[in-house]
């Protein structure tokens, strides 16, 4: 019998962030550094 309805997406399919989103977060995390010099906090974003 022909199925006229597209395959239903599961909750898991829809609630998983895109790979690019997670990749950006992890890349940002690796690049983001915080240094403190003489009590002053400096934020750095490394290449």
Partner 1 sequence: MYMQNLTDAQLVKRYISGDESALEFIIKKHQHKILAFIISKVYDRDVAEDIFQDTFVKVIKTLKGGKYNEEGKFLPWVIRISHNLVIDHFRRNQRMPKFEAKDREFDILEFLSDGTRNAESSMIKEQIHSDLAKMIQLLPDDQREVLVMRLYKDLSFKEIAEVTEVSINTALGRMRYALINLRKLVDQNQIVLTE
SS3 letters across the chain? CCCCCCCCCCHHHHCCCCHHHHHHHHHHHHHEEEEEECCEEEEEECC
Pick from 2, 6, 34, 38: which binds partner 1 (CB under 8 A)?
34
Q: Is 2 in the site for partner 1 (CB under 8 A)?
A: no
Question: Bridge-partner residues for 42, per DSSP?
Answer: 35
Q: Is 19 in the site for partner 1 (CB under 8 A)?
A: no
Q: Least distance in Å: CB of 47 to partner 1?
A: 16
Q: Least distance in Å: CB of 16 to partner 1?
A: 6
């Amino acid at each position: 019998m022909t199925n006229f309805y597209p395959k239903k997406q599961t909750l898991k399919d829809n609630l998983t962030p895109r790979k690019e989103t997670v990749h950006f977060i992890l890349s940002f995390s690796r690049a983001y550094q915080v240094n403190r010099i003489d009590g002053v906090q400096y934020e750095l974003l490394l290449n």
